Amino acid sequence: MTNPIAPPIENLTLEDIRHGLAADTILLIDVREPDEFAKAHIPGSILVPLSAFDVKKIPNPGPRRLVLSCRSGRRSLTAAAIAFDQGLPISAHYAGGILDWIAAGQSINSDS
């Protein structure tokens, strides 16, 4: 028996994320840890930390596309592989992550 192969992950840009959030066509899942999320996160994103990643913790996106995000685009790829293994193929991530978002001067939310 062969293992299924995960689909390729699309690298979304800042503009893709901005447009998707504004149009409510994406549900942005931040996979950083709670302390990182509390310091700064993209408005509208929800936290599902990679350290305890479970697709059951992702709310129903409805018609929106699930998109993963992290600090710089590495953990989101790991989360995509985990999601696939758990039966939920997620086909896109924010390649630049929160670092790109902040560097572009976009607004952030924080819990502090």
Q: Which of these, 10, 38, 13, lies nearest to 104 by C-alpha position?
A: 13
> Going from the N-terminus, what domains does the chain have, and what CATH number goes with each?
10-103 (3.40.250.10)
Q: What is the pLDDT of residue 7?
A: 74
CA–CA separation, 7 vs 90, rounded Å? 8
Indicate yes or no: pTM above 0.85.
yes
Q: What is the pLDDT of residue 111?
A: 81
* Res. 2 pLDDT band, cuts 50 70 90: very low
Pairing type for strands 92-94 and 46-47 reads: unpaired
Cβ 42 vs Cβ 16: under 8 Å: no
Number of other CB atoms surrounding residue 22 within 10 Å: 10
Q: What is the pLDDT of residue 6?
A: 66
